[in-house]
Amino acid sequence: MSQPAPQKALTAAEIRARKGGAPLVCLTAYTTPIARLADAHCDLVLVGDSVGMVLHGLPSTLPVTLEMMILHGQSVARGLERALMVVDMPFGSYEESPAQAFLNAARIMAETGAGAVKLEGGRHMAETIRFLVDRGIPVMAHIGLTPQSVNALGGYRVQGKGDDAERIRDDAQAVTDAGAFSVVLEKVPAALADQITAEITIPTIGIGASAGCDGQILVIDDMLGLFDAFKPKFVKRYAHLAADAAEAIRTYAEEVRARAFPAPEHVFTDEGAK
């Protein structure tokens, strides 16, 4: 199998150096065409394990496999030139031990050309983050609502309310001290996100957090309006492509049934058409 070209892109170190600067623009991507579109405008593109729900129809991110992440990482890499590509480590690929995490992270990096990996968890994952960073693997951390732990958290609830805020602050400091180059803050109160952003020395990337974070990330299918049934509070729909696609498919079906498509300009003749 041919390997993707090495990243000619922003590095994790360059993203970290953007702390306190111009906001970092981040989106997910899972395919080459979408990666090309995102690359023109984004600083960081995440191959998220959300691919399981978005493209594969899975009920959560938990069934996503390492092979799935590598396949989609390879696809996204072909569409990027500038943005840093980060690949999610799926559930079960890093929690057992730092050594397990290194073996799987190294495989992701080698087989996709990723510039970094992302893993979920705060203080309890700090040892693993340090282990990876010390061995040359840049790590983006992810705290607050961590979807891989949704069963333990009791659902997709806001994290860090009231007395629980101290736990999230502690997690943020722990992943910073462990060497993460940035940290995703998901579904935490805005005031807490602002406090963490001021306290730690690495960029915070908000999703359902605060405009005061050092950057923002959304699942691209959410912001493009490719889902009609479910819209998290923190998502802004910048397009409504599901409705546009449904209308296009309806029109196509009508034209096929009426034999209006293909029209003469869409078919070939014996008169030299190519």
Please say whether the dihedral angle defined by the alpha carbons of residues 85, 86, 87 and 88, taken in this order, is positive or negative: negative
Contact 91, 151 (CB under 8 A): no
In this prediction, residues 57-78 reach a mean pLDDT of 96
Per-residue pLDDT for 100 more than 60? yes
Helix, strand, coil share of the chain (percent; to 5): 40, 15, 45
Average pLDDT, the chain: 93
In a domain, 266, yes or no: no
Per-residue pLDDT for 141 more than 60? yes
Residue indicated by tokens 């003469």: 264
What's residue 235's pLDDT? 87
Closest CA to 62 of 71, 53, 70, 74: 53
What tokens were used for 223?
């912001």
What does the pLDDT look like over 196-216, one tens digit per residue? 999 999 999 999 999 999 999
Per-residue pLDDT for 2 more than 80? no
The answer to whether the annotation marks 49 as part of a ligand binding site is yes
What pTM was estimated for this model as a whole? 0.92
In the chain, % of residues over pLDDT 70: 92
Q: Give the largest CA-CA distance in the chain.
A: 78
In a domain, 232, yes or no: yes
The answer to whether the annotation marks 8 as part of a ligand binding site is no
In a domain, 152, yes or no: yes
Residue 264's pLDDT band (cuts 50, 70, 90): very high
Residue 158's pLDDT band (cuts 50, 70, 90): confident
Please say whether the dihedral angle defined by the alpha carbons of residues 14, 19, 22 and 26, taken in this order, is positive or negative: positive
In a domain, 187, yes or no: yes
Q: What is the DSSP string of 142-166?
A: EEES-GGGHHHHTSS-----GGGHH
Q: Which residues contact 135 (CB under 8 A, 6 or more apart)?
A: 102
Assign residue 21 the CATH number of its domain.
3.20.20.60
Per the residue annotation, which of 186, 247, 254, 265 is the catalytic one? 186
The answer to whether the annotation marks 149 as part of a ligand binding site is no
In a domain, 7, yes or no: no
Specify whether 186 is catalytic. yes
Residue 152's pLDDT band (cuts 50, 70, 90): low
Residue ranges with strand state E in the chain: 24-28, 44-47, 84-88, 116-120, 139-144, 182-186, 204-207, 215-218
Number of domains making up the chain: 1
What's residue 229's pLDDT? 62
The answer to whether the annotation marks 214 as part of a ligand binding site is no
Per-residue pLDDT for 195 more than 50? yes
Give me the domain span that covers residue 220.
12-239
Closest CA to 50 of 246, 243, 242, 232: 232
In a domain, 151, yes or no: yes
Per-residue pLDDT for 7 more than 50? no
Per-residue pLDDT for 156 more than 80? no
Residue indicated by tokens 């080698």: 110
What does the pLDDT look like over 227-252, one tens digit per residue? 766 667 888 999 999 999 999 999 99
Give dist(CA 118, CA 200) in Å, integer: 18
Give dist(CA 142, CA 202) in Å, integer: 12
In a domain, 56, yes or no: yes
